[in-house]
Structure 1
């Protein structure tokens, strides 16, 4: 499952283990392509990785704090520290490879 999170609970939701947060917006075409890929990964890797998504129009502060200028951006954190930022659309295989580095 991919949980929708906000500026208010971002740190709490991404502070433990390996997390992937999808920064997106409703008007973003590539974001709409990326979303089902993230959902598939959550189904397959949800026991090892926490998946979330954040609408940057409704929650601009976190995106601004991390210097996110383009979406989709997938922010990977391990134990609360950013370990990777993946910008643009990526396939399930590409994302699986990135996430496996941090497990």
Structure 2
């Protein structure tokens, strides 16, 4: 299951992490975010050996959302060794997300 992390956890779990981390920037009031949630959870379980999947509630961690210029939710960002390498905006099918993540492994 993808953990919802806060600002301080973001630094340790994403920015200071080696390997690939996929971050789902979401909001509790966002319809497409609710559609994406089960897809993101499934991928997190399927790919747990290859990548870490975490979620950021933009209303709770506004500082992080602003830092990465997240203005639309859902936005998924792929980080590799602590640096953002790819961004996906809006709902996407599971296979498309998986292909993007695999391209950075």
Residue in structure 2 matched with residue 21 of structure 1 by the alignment = 23
Residue in structure 2 matched with residue 99 of structure 1 by the alignment = 101
Query: Which deviations, in whole Å up to 9, do the C-alpha atoms of 1:68-103 show, x marking residues without a partner?
Result: 000000010000010001100011000011011011
Pairs within 5 Å for 1:50-69:
50-69=52-71
What is the DSSP-based 3-state SS (H/G/I as helix, E as strand, rest coil) of the residue aligned with 2:52? strand
TM superposition shift of 1:48: 0.6
Residue in structure 2 matched with residue 12 of structure 1 by the alignment = 12
TM superposition shift of 1:32: 0.2
Residue in structure 1 matched with residue 81 of structure 2 by the alignment = 79
Q: Which runs of 5+ in 2 are unaligned?
A: none
| TM-score of the two chains, using structure 2 as the length reference | 0.95
Q: Which runs of 5+ in 1 are unaligned?
A: none
CA RMSD of aligned residues (A): 0.7
Runs of 4+ that moved beyond 4 A: none
| TM-score of the two chains, using structure 1 as the length reference | 0.97
